[in-house]
Structure 1
Amino acid sequence: MKKIKNKLKEHKSIIENFSYLSVLQVFNMILPLLSYPYLIRVLGTSIYGKIIFAQAIIGYLALLVGFGFSITATKEISVHREDKEKLSEIVCSVLVIKTLLLIVSFVFFLPLLFFYNQVAENKVLYFMTLWLCIYEIMFPVFYFQGIEKMKYVSIISLIVRCIFVALIFVFIHNKTDYLYVPLLNLFGAVLAGMSSMYIVFYKHKIRFYIPEFAVLKFYFKEAIPVFLSNISIQIYVSTNKVLIGSFLGMTEVSYYDLGEKILNILRIPQGIISQSVFPKISLDKNISFINKVFKYSLAFNTALFLLLVVFSDMIIRILGGVQMLPAKGVVIILGLTLPIVAISNVFGILVMIPFGLNKLFSKIIMFSGVIFILQFLFLWIFNFITIYSLCTITVVTELFVSFLMYYYCLKNNLWTIKSTTI
Structure 2
Amino acid sequence: MNLKQILNSRLLSNTFNLFVLYGISSIVPILLVPYLLNTIGVEKYGLVNFALIFSFYFQIVNEFGFDLSNVRHIVKNRENISELGKIVSSILQCKFILIVCSSIVYSLVIFFVDTLRSESTLYTLAFIRLIGIVITPYWFFRSMEDVKYITRISVPVKLLCILPIFFIVNSTDDYELVMLCYALETFVSGILALFIMKKRYGIRFQLVKTENIIYYFKDSIPFFSSTFLMRVYKNMNALILGFFVGDFAVGLYTAAEKLHNAYSSFVSPLLSQIFYPYFTRINNINRTTKITILLCVLNTIILACGYFLSPYLIHLFIKTEAASIISNFNLFLFLLVISVPADMLGFPFLGILGKINSVNNTTIYSAFAYMLAIAVLILTKQISIENVILALIFANIICLSSRIYLISKTLNNDNKQIQQ
Normalising TM by the smaller chain, what interval? 0.7 to 0.9
Aligned equivalent of 2:368: 370
AA at the equivalent of 1:131: I
**Relative to 1, partners in 2 of residues 1:93 and 1:228: Cα closer, same or farther, differing over 3 Å?**
same
Q: Give the equivalent residue in structure 2 for 1:233.
A: 230
Give the partner amino acid of 1:92: S
Q: Which moved more, 1:77-86 or 1:394-403?
A: 77-86
Contact 2:260-2:332 at 8 Å conserved across structures: yes
- In the alignment, the residues of structure 2 paired with residue 315 and residue 233 of structure 1 have an alpha-carbon distance, to the nearest angstrom, of 32
Q: % of aligned pairs identical?
A: 21
- The residue number in structure 2 matching 1:129 is 126
Instruction: Kindly state the Cα deviation for residue 343 of structure 1 after the two structures are TM-superposed.
Output: 3.5
Whole-angstrom CA distance in 2 between matches of 1:279 and 1:15: 15
Q: 2:97 matched to 1:67?
A: no
> What SS does structure 2 have at the residue aligned with 1:236?
helix
Q: Is the 8 A contact 2:296 2:341 kept in 1?
A: yes
Aligned position for 1:34: 31
Q: Does 1:342 align with 2:340?
A: yes
Aligned counterpart, 1:15? 12
Matched, 1:379 2:383: no
Is the 2:57–2:232 Cα contact (8 Å) retained in structure 1? no
Residue from 206, 209, 212 that aligns with 2:206: 209
Q: CA RMSD in A?
A: 3.2
Q: In the alignment, is the contact (CA less than 8 A) between 2:138 and 2:150 conserved in 1?
A: yes
Aligned to 1:318: 316
Q: Give the counterpart of 2:164 among 163, 167, 170.
A: 167
Q: Point out the more displaced range, 45-54 or 78-87.
A: 78-87
Task: Report the TM-score, using the length of structure 1 for normalisation.
Answer: 0.86
Report the counterpart of residue 150 of structure 2 in structure 1: 153
Query: Equivalents in 1 of 2:317, 2:3: separation in Å?
Result: 42
With over 3 angstroms needed to count, the CA separation of the structure-2 counterparts of 1:291 and 1:80, relative to structure 1, is: farther
Task: Please state if 1:184 is matched with 2:181.
Answer: yes
Q: Do the aligned partners of residues 188 and 292 (structure 1) sit closer, same or farther apart at CA in structure 2, a change above 3 Å counting? A: farther
Deviations 1:257-289 (A, max 9, x none): 01210011111222332464389579x765449
Give the conservation status (yes or no) of the 8 Å contact 2:238–2:250: yes
The answer to whether the 8 Å contact 2:37/2:320 transfers is no
Contact kept in structure 2, 1:372 and 1:394, CA below 8 Å: yes
Q: For the Cα contact (< 8 Å) 1:281–1:354, is it kept in 2? A: no
Aligned pairs, number: 413
Which has the higher mean CA deviation after the structures are superposed, 107-116 or 270-279?
270-279
SS in 2 for 1:305: helix
2:221 to 220, 224, 240: 224
Change (3 A) 1:221 1:342: farther
Q: Name which one, 1 or 2, has greater alpha-carbon Rg.
A: 2
- Structure 1 residues 228 and 406 mapped into 2: Cα distance closer, same or farther (>3 Å)? farther
Structure 2 residues without counterparts, runs of 5 or longer: 416-420
Alignment partners' CA distance in 1, 2:202 and 2:402: 43
Q: Does 1:193 align with 2:190?
A: yes
Residues 270-326 of structure 1 deviation map (CA, whole Å, 9 limit, x = unaligned): 2332464389579x7654497687456434432332122112212322342242320
Residue aligned with 1:178, SS = helix
Change (3 A) 1:229 1:255: farther
Q: CA deviation at 1:106?
A: 1.5
SS at match of 1:65: helix
Cα separation, 1, equivalents of 2:405 and 2:77: 31
Partner of 2:115: 118
Tell me if 1:249 matches 2:246: yes
Superposition deviation, residue 224 in structure 1 = 2.0
Question: CA offset at residue 412 of structure 1?
Answer: 7.1
The worse-fitting range, judged by mean Cα deviation, of 350-359 and 369-378 is: 350-359
Letter in 1 for 2:262: I
Q: Secondary structure at the match of 1:267?
A: helix
Provide the rounded CA distance (Å) in 2 between the counterparts of 1:286 and 1:140: 32
Task: Give the C-alpha shift of residue 247 in structure 1.
Answer: 1.5
Deviations 1:345-383 (A, max 9, x none): 344445677998766654443443222111111122223
Tell me the TM-score normalized by structure 2.
0.86
Structure 1 letter corresponding to 2:191: M
Q: Secondary structure at the match of 1:273?
A: helix
- Residue 336 of structure 1 aligns to a residue whose secondary structure is helix
Q: Partner of 2:418 in structure 1?
A: none
Distance in 2, matches of 1:227 and 1:247, equals: 29
Q: 1:400 aligns with which of 391, 398, 401?
A: 398
Corresponding position of 1:298: 296
Distance between the aligned counterparts of 1:65 and 1:291, measured in 2?
A: 38
TM-aligned CA deviation for residue 170 of structure 1: 2.9
* Structure 2 CA distance for aligned equivalents of residues 221 and 266 of structure 1: 35
3-state DSSP class of the match of 1:321? coil
